[in-house]
């Protein structure tokens, strides 16, 4: 069970995982050793899955986001394994979600430009059969967070 300090700690780490233990401890009114133990416990218990660096996509020439809605006529295990392998092998596909309703999957693809989408499209359809793919170009990112609310744990 997480207490208020655990929730605060998770929120602070999501905001900036490079914060020093001393800074975190001060903000939480803990000793550095107690704070360090809490961080380790949160890792051990799986609340902290990993620590990563967020790269500025514009600086590395990946400013374009395209969402692709995928429909398939196939749902058997073999096809699902092929699909998972195909999307897993394309690094520009950064998210894949299986959906309810009339669309089976939504893919989030990051690219240097819109024209590059055709390359990704051809790579994907060469690996797995799909009934329909519809692409939607993101014109503006209104909200994009990596942090999640911590109060539900």
CATH node for 4-44: 1.10.10.10
Could you tell me the CA-to-CA distances from 54 to 10, 16, 145 in Å, in that order?
17, 10, 11
pLDDT at res. 1: 87
CATH node for 64-137: 3.30.70.920
Of the candidates 113, 110, 137, 114, the residue with the CA atom closest to the CA atom of residue 56: 110
The sign of the CA dihedral 55, 8, 95, 67 is: negative
* Mean pLDDT for the stretch of residues 63-89: 96
Classify strands 105-111 and 93-98 as parallel, antiparallel or unpaired: antiparallel
- Compute φ and ψ for 61, nearest 5 degrees: 65, 45
Distance CA 133, CA 86 (A): 15
Q: Are 82 and 127 in contact (CB under 8 A)?
A: yes
Query: pLDDT confidence of 153, banded at 50, 70, 90?
Result: confident
Model confidence over 8-20: pLDDT tens digits? 999 999 999 999 9
pTM of the model: 0.90
Query: pLDDT confidence of 60, banded at 50, 70, 90?
Result: very high
Domain residue extents for the chain: 4-44, 64-137
Model confidence over 81-132: pLDDT tens digits? 999 999 999 999 999 999 999 999 999 999 999 999 999 999 999 999 999 9
Tokens 């939607």 correspond to: 136
């Amino acid at each position: 069970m997480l207490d208020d300090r655990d929730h605060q700690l998770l929120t602070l780490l999501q905001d900036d995982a490079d914060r020093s233990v001393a800074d975190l401890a001060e903000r939480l009114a803990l000793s550095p050793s107690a704070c360090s133990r809490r961080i380790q416990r949160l890792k051990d218990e799986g609340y902290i899955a990993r620590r990563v660096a967020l790269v500025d996509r514009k600086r590395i020439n990946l400013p374009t986001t395209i969402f692709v809605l995928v429909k398939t006529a196939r749902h058997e295990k073999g096809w699902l394994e092929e699909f998972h392998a195909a999307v897993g092998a394309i690094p520009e596909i950064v998210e894949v979600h299986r959906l309810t309703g009339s669309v089976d999957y939504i893919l989030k693809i990051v690219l240097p430009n819109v024209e590059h989408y055709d390359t990704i499209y051809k790579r994907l359809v060469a690996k797995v059969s799909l009934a329909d793919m519809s692409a939607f170009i993101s014109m503006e990112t209104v909200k994009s967070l990596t942090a999640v609310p911590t109060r539900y744990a």
